[in-house]
Structure 1
Amino acid sequence: MTESTTTPDTADRAPLGDLAALVGEEPTVRAVVSRAPSVAVPEAARAIFVAGLAGVTTRRPILVAVPTRAEAERLSRDLQQFLPALDVEELPAWETLPFERVSPSLETMSRRARVLWRLRAGVPPAVVVAPVRALVQRLGPHVEEVEPVVVRRGDQIDRDALVARLVAMGYRREYQVEARGEVAVRGSIVDVYPATDDHPVRIDLWGDEVDRLSAFAVVDQRSTDDIDAAIIFPARELLPTDEVRERARQLLRTQPWGAEAWERLADGVTFDGMESWLPW
């Protein structure tokens, strides 16, 4: 998540926001506010109905549960026509099957962490859209303690400490950043691709001070737009914290059938499929 200096004041305005305000006076919307047990809303009208409801109620967030991830993605996109983008969050479900030894995508895990952080930090979105699987998905340990790394121009930052923290949050150190969840260091420059963002971020240090903060292109590695701040969320839901490592050591003694995974977790190693061991 980045904050840009070049974003115009109108960027937060939804294209069809005025229509949502008109729908807020409809009897069906008012019935929901009055806690009617059920109302019927055609599928094509769901986005404007939810946006209208968000405009007339102070309850935050409004949770919209849908059957599938495809429906959640579609409804989230539609809602952003009626509400500012920051007022709409999708809580994605894992793409993996239960006990499948494959990790969900880094973007999925990081977006889940962002939604949960916003709910806990007192900056909830107006609407959270979630497929049913996302609502019943097991959460990682200490999810309520997750904090993003926030970097702003002018901040005093220790380069090595920043990189170490990003690696502890599940980011993979590489020679050059090319994909989400990667971090690279070149002298006084730290490149990181936040798992929730559409572009990587370059942190240019002068000593310990953030001299410049910018987005850059993966293709040619050139800086593009300057930004005010970067908010970097963990790239994984299961992190090798001290408690997780101690639990893995206990499982080594009591559940030897999973020794290979327990040993890697006990050593603090990040590996593909580690999230599938959450039930233990």
Structure 2
Amino acid sequence: MHPSVNEPIDERSDHAYDGCLYITGRAGSFVSFLVAHTRRKTLVLYEDEDSADLLREEISYYGNREVALFPPFEDRFFEEEDNLRRSGFLYRLATDSLFIGLFPVSSLTHPLPARENISEDVMTIRVGDTVFPEDIHDNLDRKGYELAPLVREGGQYAKRGSIVDFFPPASEKPVRCEFIGDQILSVRHFNPLSQRSEKELTHCEITSILKKDNDNSSTIMDYLDDSVTLVHPGAWCINNTLAAADLSTKSGWARLLGGAPQIDLSGVVGPSGEQKTIKAVSNDDLRQLFLQHKTQIFHILR
């Protein structure tokens, strides 16, 4: 049974939070350590960018893995750069089973491209493939990449003789494809500053860049399912953001919160008392606290 779409999602409702772990006390870095070690696709809802930046750094440090941050939709000087980060974020959220990302609560209802448009509109290039370089150029143009003399930033591509360079928004480094005729000889990462080729790859993917004329008929909710662990500041925060949303959106979030594993950071004690609540006393020994509750954590977030 799921919460009614006409009622706020109750922070203490057993049926709404069957798979919810509650963190109370001095959560601090314990949350970062916990998220870094759950080994699941995880979406963390954040309220302000300063705390999100700190959380991202800590999760990356404890888990030795990349953590993505989705910039809020605001009038900002670096809006084009923000848009590239959003493009990479959505693609990885849709396709990477171990993805960890931070998403602003303020953007829960903001229109986004359909999930299938992000995850399926992909051109995969493999070493040894036969493909016309012009087809790659056309694909890059269609997906919103900008032609440049040299590729130094995300969303750019360059063509020089038998070489095509491009920088996908979901990639940490740009990619270089070298041809012999119409056959791909090599695929490598390269350094955008020195332009020197680096790690060899077996394949790469050309993913789309978000554009204003996209069919933005979805929201972040459409990218989430029961495989995603949702970390949030409490049901009250989600309720406030959804106050002006339509019934379909509220119903979707009610279903999601009724089935997806979650970590609640509001500070309230869970409906099952100590059974679903971990009290973080300090940040001194994160590993010991995690190991002490490891069985409980994975049972709840299974």
TM-score class, shorter: 0.5 to 0.7
- Mean alpha-carbon deviation: is it higher for 225-234 or for 179-188? 225-234
Instruction: Tell me which amino acid in the other structure corresponds to 1:145.
Output: N
- Kindly report which structure 2 residues correspond to 1:13-28, keeping only aligned pairs within 5 A, or say none: none
Equivalent position to 1:48, from 16, 23, 33: 33
Q: Which residue of 2 aligns with 1:138?
A: 111
- Once the 2 structures are TM-superposed, how far is the Cα of residue 220 of structure 1 from its aligned partner? 4.1
Q: Which residue of 2 aligns with 1:81?
A: 61
- TM-score when scaled to structure 1? 0.59
Conservation of the 8 A alpha-carbon contact between 1:204 and 1:211:
yes
Higher relative contact order (CA 8 A, sep 6+): 2
Structure 2 unaligned segments of length 5 or more: list them: 1-16, 217-302
- Kindly report which structure 2 residues correspond to 1:207-246, keeping only aligned pairs within 5 A, or say none: 207-239=181-213
Divergent runs of 4+, >4 A: none
- Kindly report which structure 2 residues correspond to 1:170-181, keeping only aligned pairs within 5 A, or say none: 170-181=144-155
Conservation of the 8 A alpha-carbon contact between 1:203 and 1:213:
yes
Distance in 2 (alpha carbons) for counterparts of 1:195 and 1:126? 15
Conservation of the 8 A alpha-carbon contact between 2:156 and 2:167:
yes
Q: Which residue of 2 aligns with 1:164?
A: 138
Q: Is it true that 1:206 corresponds to 2:180 in the alignment?
A: yes
| Alpha-carbon displacement from aligned partner over 1:30-53 (angstroms, at most 9, x marks no partner) | xx985356634422322013335x
- Once the 2 structures are TM-superposed, how far is the Cα of residue 203 of structure 1 from its aligned partner? 0.6
Instruction: Tell me which amino acid in the other structure corresponds to 2:208.
Output: P
Equivalent position to 1:105, from 62, 67, 80: 80
* Residues 217, 62 of structure 1: alpha-carbon distance in 2 compared, 3 angstrom cutoff: closer
Instruction: Tell me which amino acid in the other structure corresponds to 2:29.
Output: A
Instruction: Tell me which amino acid in the other structure corresponds to 2:129.
Output: D
Instruction: Tell me which amino acid in the other structure corresponds to 2:183.
Output: E
Distance in 2 (alpha carbons) for counterparts of 1:197 and 1:36? 32
Instruction: Tell me which amino acid in the other structure corresponds to 2:79.
Output: P
- Once the 2 structures are TM-superposed, how far is the Cα of residue 207 of structure 1 from its aligned partner? 1.9
Q: Which residue of 1 aligns with 2:45?
A: 65
Q: Is it true that 1:189 corresponds to 2:163 in the alignment?
A: yes
Conservation of the 8 A alpha-carbon contact between 1:116 and 1:144:
no
- Once the 2 structures are TM-superposed, how far is the Cα of residue 116 of structure 1 from its aligned partner? 2.9
- Once the 2 structures are TM-superposed, how far is the Cα of residue 62 of structure 1 from its aligned partner? 3.4
Question: 1:225 aligns to what SS in structure 2?
Answer: strand
| Alpha-carbon displacement from aligned partner over 1:202-250 (angstroms, at most 9, x marks no partner) | 110112221011222334433233233323332334356xx79xxxxxx
Q: Which residue of 2 aligns with 1:124?
A: 97
* Residues 143, 162 of structure 1: alpha-carbon distance in 2 compared, 3 angstrom cutoff: same
Distance in 2 (alpha carbons) for counterparts of 1:36 and 1:198? 32
Structure 1 unaligned segments of length 5 or more: list them: 1-31, 245-280
* Residues 221, 189 of structure 1: alpha-carbon distance in 2 compared, 3 angstrom cutoff: same
Distance in 2 (alpha carbons) for counterparts of 1:69 and 1:138? 20
* Residues 79, 151 of structure 1: alpha-carbon distance in 2 compared, 3 angstrom cutoff: same
Q: Is it true that 1:91 corresponds to 2:91 in the alignment?
A: no
Aligned-pair RMSD on alpha carbons?
3.1
Distance in 2 (alpha carbons) for counterparts of 1:229 and 1:180? 18
- Once the 2 structures are TM-superposed, how far is the Cα of residue 112 of structure 1 from its aligned partner? 2.6
* Residues 215, 35 of structure 1: alpha-carbon distance in 2 compared, 3 angstrom cutoff: closer
Conservation of the 8 A alpha-carbon contact between 1:117 and 1:144:
no
Distance in 2 (alpha carbons) for counterparts of 1:136 and 1:186? 42
Q: Which has the higher helix share?
A: 1
- Once the 2 structures are TM-superposed, how far is the Cα of residue 164 of structure 1 from its aligned partner? 0.8
Instruction: Tell me which amino acid in the other structure corresponds to 1:69.
Output: E
Distance in 2 (alpha carbons) for counterparts of 1:136 and 1:198? 28
Distance in 2 (alpha carbons) for counterparts of 1:62 and 1:218? 30
* Residues 231, 220 of structure 1: alpha-carbon distance in 2 compared, 3 angstrom cutoff: same
Identity of aligned residues (%): 23
Distance in 1 (alpha carbons) for counterparts of 2:21 and 2:163? 56
Instruction: Tell me which amino acid in the other structure corresponds to 1:117.
Output: Y
